[in-house]
Amino acid sequence: MTCTRVRAAVAVLLFVALPLAVTRAKPADSQEADFATIKELFANFNDAFNNHDAHAAAMQFTDDADFITIQGAATTGKAEIEQHLAPLFAGRLKMAHRDVVLRGIRFLRPDVATVDSDYEMSGLMGPNGAAIPPAKGLYDWIVTKQNGRWLIAVWHESNLPVAPAPPTAK
């Protein structure tokens, strides 16, 4: 009798525990795939930026995305983001190039994550067309998974302050 009870208890545990173990393994596998897809989104946006392709850059955003520039100006929606970027890429940013380093991706929920990165941008021109020194800054994104695709829902970029020049010897 005791042996039968032990077998029954083991069977119940396996019946309950095995599906839980499989369920717990799936998010890690799914998250790893999502991590890779978000890294691809990051690369795609930066390639579009460096190719000065406003349409390709805007396609990385949700339809209702918020894009906040280093000046604090906000643009909402994929179409408006494209309209914002197009004249910049044809003008002041036509020679711009950003080198980016992904700092990290943090999942807030299975379908929402933050993306943090550093950038250094060269080839900038001022409003008068004069060259501007390279700028360093940060990207802070919130990305969401919509219809199986990761897209930028909120973009915030910040320039880092320029370090003061060292004092000159007298």
pLDDT at 146 (0 to 100) = 96
Partnered with residue 75 across adjacent β-strands are 67
pLDDT in tens, 106-153: 999 999 999 999 999 999 998 888 999 999 999 999 999 999 999 999
For residue 140, count other CB atoms closer than 10 A to its CB.
Answer: 15
**In CATH, which of 2.30.30.280, 3.40.605.10, 3.30.470.10, 3.10.450.50 is domain 29-159?**
3.10.450.50
pLDDT in tens, 10-38: 343 333 343 333 333 334 566 899 999 99
Write out the two tokens for 157: 């970029």
pLDDT at 29 (0 to 100) = 64
Q: In what order do the strands lie in the sheet with 61-68?
A: 74-76, 61-68, 149-159, 135-146, 112-122, 97-109
Write out the two tokens for 148: 């199986």
3-state secondary structure of 153: strand
The pLDDT-based confidence of 65 (bands split at 50, 70, 90) is very high
For residue 144, count other CB atoms closer than 10 A to its CB.
Answer: 17
pLDDT at 165 (0 to 100) = 65
pLDDT at 169 (0 to 100) = 65
Write down the domain spans for the chain.
29-159
pLDDT at 162 (0 to 100) = 75
Q: Which among 165, 140, 164, 168 has a CA at the least distance from the CA of 154?
A: 140
Average pLDDT over residues 150-168: 85
pTM score of the predicted model: 0.77
